[in-house]
Amino acid sequence: MDWTDKVVLITGGTGSFGKKFIQVMLKEYHPEKIIIYSRDELKQYEMQNSGINDPRLRYFIGDVRDLDRMKRAFQGVDIVVHAAALKQVPACEYNPFEAVKTNILGTENVIDAALDMGVKKVLAISTDKAVNPVNLYGVTKLAAEKLVIQSNSYAGGRETRLSCVRYGNVVGSRGSVVPVFLKQRSTGRLTVTDERMTRFWISLEQGVHFVIRCIEQMHGGEVFVPKIPSMKVKDLAAAVAPEAEITYTGIRPGEKLHEVLISEDEARNTVEFDDMFIVQPSGTTWFGRDWEKLGKKLPDDYHYSSNNNTEWLDLEGIKKMIAPFMESYDQEEF
């Protein structure tokens, strides 16, 4: 795919994923233009001052809740990456209607604007918390996934195609546990909710390159799931602060012991490839099911969870993965 004549828009472009996505796109893919759509003028200002400033960038203030503003932003856009979301679990629990407005109704607005303005491809970023959700954040992301996938039926004769990417915890992203452990390290005591807890693990760089690859390959209607390693949260704590004491505080409301990226029910419509799974749309006759001719079918009772994973990060692997964030944090502290 030739990106040089493409206009790309990313919602939530001032977030951790957005920043890395923009840096990679400018350095490696050279699109004609990237529109950074977000609601916070201060974050846009800080982002420009941090060096993410290029003639191909457009900083566009707008909220995904505002359909008219989004239609204006989508004019002439070829590809939309939808990364805007309220994602802090406690904040979503305490402010449920706000989570619905941004994560569900905001996604509906992205879909409507894309269909009305002739955007060719929309790829929405989802999370393992959308599978068998136990908290409101997961519920809203599950709903957003369903909206994106099923909206392909509205495309009709249009060129617009919509798909999702679903992956696990991102190393060092805003709100992740790594910055929390780094702050706690100075106290000599780290808090972990349960010693059995496991999580899927992916770096920002890996996530961004996977998203770009999925945009290039998508037919519309798929959920792309990368094969990524698992780690034990207590091992992460030990990697961040080997000398610190670990206190187990008990599992919090809305928290799982283990995360799931593919459920047993989804396995029936999922095909496996060397480095990813593709969940195909179920019970439909439109596009998105050609992958079953190319990949390997999964057994009906299969599920892909962080505790039954075949790939694990040991202590040394975790240390290697978090090293850049440790160095960056230490420099800021100094």
3's CB contacts (< 8 A; 6+ apart) are: 25, 29, 30, 31
Exactly one of 19, 121, 129, 141 is catalytic; name it: 129
129 is catalytic: yes
Beta-sheet pairing, 169-170 with 79-82: unpaired
Three-state DSSP class for residue 80 = strand
Q: Could you count the other beta carbons within 10 Å of the beta carbon of residue 322? A: 22
The answer to whether 221 touches 288, Cβ cutoff 8 Å, is yes
Q: Could you count the other beta carbons within 10 Å of the beta carbon of residue 303? A: 18
Spatial distance between the Cα atoms of 234 and 294, rounded to a whole number of angstroms? 39
The answer to whether 189 touches 30, Cβ cutoff 8 Å, is no
Encode burial over 181-196: b for 16+ CB neighbours within 10 A, e otherwise: bbebbeeeebebbbee
Active centre residues (catalytic): 129
